[in-house]
Structures are given as C-alpha cells and as structure tokens.
C-alpha cells in the first residue's frame, strides 16, 4: 500500500503500510515511537496518525532526536538448549545485538542461583567489613506460595548447603488477597520440601503483629472499598513487608530476603521516580535498622515461573482482576524495558549505572580545566 520513510541522523528506514492499516498501527507494528517524530506529506503538510494511506501515498517521518533507531530492530542470535523450558532476550557480546537465550530447567536455576549468590555474597561481605558478624544471628526469608517464593526457597537451600555457617528462618503469612488456607498450605509445603525452618501465621495473627485488631482478609476488603481504583496486591505486599520487618526487629535479625523479581524491582523504581521519594536501591536496600534483600532482582519472572509451571499457574488462578491503571502501566513498562533493552533493566535492578559515574565525568572536566585556557 502506501510508503513510509523514517528520516534519522544515522540512516533512513522505509516500509510499506498494510491494506486498511492506519499510520498509527503501521508505526507500532514497526516498533517506531510515535512521540519521537513529525509526520509530513510530500508538500511538508502534517499527516494524521489515523490516516490510511493509498497505494501511491508517501509519508515522511522526521525523527526529532538523534537517537540510533537501529536499536529498535537489533540483530538477534539464538543460544539453543537441548530441553528448553523458557527463553529470555539477553544482551549479546556485540552491543548492537541481542541474544534469544534458551534455558533448560537446570540452566534456568543456575542463572537464578548465580544472581542470588552474588547478592548474598556482596551483602555478607559488607557485614564482615562493618565488623557486625558477632551480632549476626540468622537471615529472615519472606516466603510466599508463588513461583518467586518457590525458586527463592530452592536458592536458600543450596546456599545453606554451601555456606553452613549461616542460618535462615522463613516467615509465612497471608497477604489478604488470596485464599488464606491455600496460600499458607502451599508455602509450608515449599518450606518443608527444602527442609527450611519456618513459622506460619494466620491472617489474624499476622495483623496483630503490626497493631491491627481485624485480620488481613477484613482489612483487605475494607481497603478495596475505600480505594476501588487501587490493586489489592498493593496492600497485600505492604502487609507482608510490615509483618516481616516487625518480626525481624523482634528476633534481632538484621536482614530479610524477599522474592522480588526483575519486573518488581524495575516497576518499584519507576513508581518511586513518579512520586519523588527515592529509597535505597535494590537488590540490597539498607534502611535505618534493617536491610531488605532482593537476591532475585535480576531474574525476570518469566524464568522463575517457568521452573515451576504447575505452582505458578495455581497461584495465578487465585488472582483477582486488575483495577489499577498506574500499577498495570508500570509493569507493562517494566516488561518492555526488560524485553527491548535488557541491559537497561539489568542496570535498574542491580543498582548499577550503564554509563560513566557522574564523579568520573566531573573529575575529567576538572582535570581538563586545570590545563588552563588554550589562548
């Protein structure tokens, strides 16, 4: 049908629209950001995104920035596995390429565990450097019944076997958003299958630990009535974190492990940016008296859930319908970042910066300035 020519500083890109397809649909089909361009016809007149081009029509799309548009359509290599259960798009050795990496169950767990172990070793190193090992008793694990919790437990078990001097204590508590009996029963089953010590609380007991007379189920329903446009998972996550923090303080445990995956951490950072309240970055979030750890922060949920399909699907069958625009939007953005720009997602979820640190740049500028004027 019609022809579209994208003009950028690097090169021009050209494609044809389909029959009956609007320019909006054509641009999205070709992964081109609409807000980054001006659409003009041959007479330099604006063209509507709703327009459906005729066979002889030509529309010029002028890029408004000097971005490298080849990053939107990178080359992909395929890294195959003999018994794949999941695939991830990962950065390749060549910065202009991505790799579609297949994982067997064993390879997927090794990927997750390597992330888990690196975070734990980094955290324990800071404990030793601060001379706090003598007060270090055990680490607390906020254990859920979902796919994230299942793999978190498996990683904890392996780490305990490799590092027997460290002890872990799992805490299982309902969040008010799922069937209480099913959630606790399945989380207990996970803990027992990996021989992990645990303490399980009912919705009433857990609520009492953080000062409520009503149980989490009643509180959750009241929350949904008061905030009908918010997600039940928001208050559920709050309950779980508060209970775990209260218990950790009571038991003298300096840190808590949560099963937050990469999308959780990226969406959380995006939300903090929106509200202007930046917390210390994951995967090691140091607060005043506690450290919250997200050792699976660089692992996409797709990989975690693919390692335990039946449990993950069971968990999702119990979810309620989404009602929150903001939360859905943030998670969609997090997924898009992880899929299209995985190196950026890795940086956001690891506390790293994929560019020279600001201090490095300023040191370079000051060194150049010290040379004095050239004339």
- Give the whole-angstrom CA distance, residue 146 versus residue 186: 8
CA separation (Å) from 15 to 11, 21, 49? 14, 13, 16
Could you report the per-residue pLDDT of 209-222, keeping only the tens digit for each?
A: 999 998 888 898 89
327, with CB counted inside 10 A (0-12, 13-18, 19+), is middle
List, in order, residues 6 or more apart from 226 with CB less than 8 Å away.
Answer: none
Cβ–Cβ < 8 Å for 152, 194? no
Q: What is the reported pLDDT for 357? A: 67
Give the chain's domains with CATH numbers. 3-71 (3.10.20), 106-350 (3.40.50.620)
- Give the whole-angstrom CA distance, residue 59 versus residue 23: 9
Could you report the per-residue pLDDT of 261-298, keeping only the tens digit for each?
A: 999 999 999 999 999 988 889 999 999 889 999 999 99
Residues of the chain with pLDDT under 70: 95, 134-135, 318, 352-358, 372, 374-375
Question: And the tokens for 268?
Answer: 């959380």
Q: What is the reported pLDDT for 263? A: 96
Stated pTM of the model:
0.88
Q: Nearest Cα to 21, choosing from 45, 46, 57?
A: 57
Q: What is the reported pLDDT for 324? A: 81
List, in order, residues 6 or more apart from 369 with CB less than 8 Å away.
Answer: none
Question: And the tokens for 317?
Answer: 């069958």
- Give the whole-angstrom CA distance, residue 100 versus residue 86: 10
């Amino acid at each position: 049908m019609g022809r579209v020519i994208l003009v950028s500083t690097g090169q021009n890109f050209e494609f044809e629209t389909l029959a009956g397809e609007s320019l909006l649909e054509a641009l999205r089909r070709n992964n081109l950001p609409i807000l980054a361009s001006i659409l003009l016809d041959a007479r330099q007149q604006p063209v509507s995104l709703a327009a459906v081009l005729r066979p002889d029509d030509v529309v010029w799309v002028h890029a408004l920035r000097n971005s490298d548009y080849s990053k939107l359509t990178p080359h992909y290599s395929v890294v195959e596995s003999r018994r794949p259960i999941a695939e991830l798009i990962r950065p390749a050795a060549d910065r202009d390429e991505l790799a579609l990496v297949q994982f067997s169950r064993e390879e997927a767990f090794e990927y997750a565990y390597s992330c888990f172990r690196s975070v734990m070793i980094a955290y324990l190193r800071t404990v030793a450097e601060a001379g706090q090992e003598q007060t270090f008793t055990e680490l607390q694990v906020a254990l859920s019944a979902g796919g994230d919790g299942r793999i978190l437990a498996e990683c904890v078990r392996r780490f305990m076997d490799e590092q027997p001097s460290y002890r872990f204590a799992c805490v299982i508590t309902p969040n008010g958003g799922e069937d209480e009996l099913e959630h606790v029963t399945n989380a207990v089953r996970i803990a027992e299958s990996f021989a992990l010590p645990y303490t399980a609380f009912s919705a009433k007991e857990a609520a009492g630990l953080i000062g409520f007379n009503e149980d989490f189920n009643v509180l959750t329903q009241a929350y949904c009535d008061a905030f009908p446009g918010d997600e039940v998972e928001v208050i559920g996550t709050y309950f779980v974190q508060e209970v775990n923090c209260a218990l950790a303080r009571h038991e003298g445990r300096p840190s808590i492990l949560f099963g937050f995956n990469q999308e959780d951490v990226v969406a959380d950072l995006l939300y903090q940016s929106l509200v202007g309240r930046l917390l210390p970055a994951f995967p090691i979030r140091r607060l005043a008296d506690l450290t919250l750890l997200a050792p699976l922060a660089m692992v996409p949920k797709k990989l975690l859930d693919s390692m335990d399909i039946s449990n993950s699907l069971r968990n999702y069958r119990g979810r309620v319908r989404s009602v929150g625009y903001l939360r859905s939007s943030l998670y969609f953005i997090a997924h898009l970042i992880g899929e299209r720009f995985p190196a950026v997602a890795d940086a956001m979820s690891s506390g790293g910066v994929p560019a020279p640190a600001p201090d490095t740049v300023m040191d370079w500028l000051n060194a150049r300035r010290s040379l004095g004027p050239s004339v």
